[in-house]
Amino acid sequence: MKNIFIPILLLSFSFFYSQETKRKLVWEENFNGKNLNEANWNYELGNGCPSICGWGNDERQIYTKTNHKLKKGKLTITAKKEKEAYTSTRITTSGKKEFQYGRIETRAKLPVGKGIWPAFWMLGGNISKVGWPQCGEIDILEYVGKNPHLVYTSLHTQDSHGETINSKKTVFPEIEEGFHIFAVEWTKDKMEFFVDDKLVYTFQPEAKNESTWPFNQPFYIIINMAIGGNFGGPEVDDSIFPQEYVLDYVKVYQ
């Protein structure tokens, strides 16, 4: 028994070590300090007008610089119902931190209630040149309060015409409780999406071209909480506000 146990233990350790050493942490945001580091993050403000009113989805919120706070190493975005408008926060790493391939993950606690739509996602860095959906979109986390206990993971390409045909929704009965880890493993061949290390969706088209696979270029990260819209709405329960979307960190491994 002794002679068998030791080789198995060493083999297990060797496998674990080799798996862990395949990746290197290349960037992390731990939300330390009192303010967002604007060397890494951009604010996107307003209602999207005039270029993309309602942020392309008939969303009802106005994004501000005042609907978030950093405290004890966490970013908290607060959605509010104010006199004539809903307010929230949307930040991106466009032009500052863009990544091609790797594991991109966040640890987050979701808001709840009808009309809420928090997300952790990515867009192709070439969006200003080719537009959407040609630039590609990677939705690592989407949650809509009108459909509790579901996590959405999706990809948008020119081939899908924005109809979210490359998508999966997965039931997690306790997803609204506490923090959970949401991640994508992105290689030159495929995308794998995870929730708390559970594989929930794999995208690996046989034919890879500009229409099906715009994922061979750098992408930037977006964090936001939308309200209403084509996906989150149309109904919004005003009694739920304020609602908090809390992020512990963002990490990128390659």
Residues designated as active site: 137, 142
Q: Got the DSSP string for 111-151?
A: --STTEEEEEEEEETTHHHH-TTTT-EEEEEE--TTSTTEE
Nearest-angstrom CA–CA distance, 107 and 43? 21
Secondary structure letter of residue 49 according to DSSP: T
Give strand ranges (E) for 73-214: 74-81, 86-88, 90-92, 98-99, 102-109, 116-124, 137-142, 150-156, 166-171, 180-186, 191-195, 198-203
DSSP letter for 43, please.
E
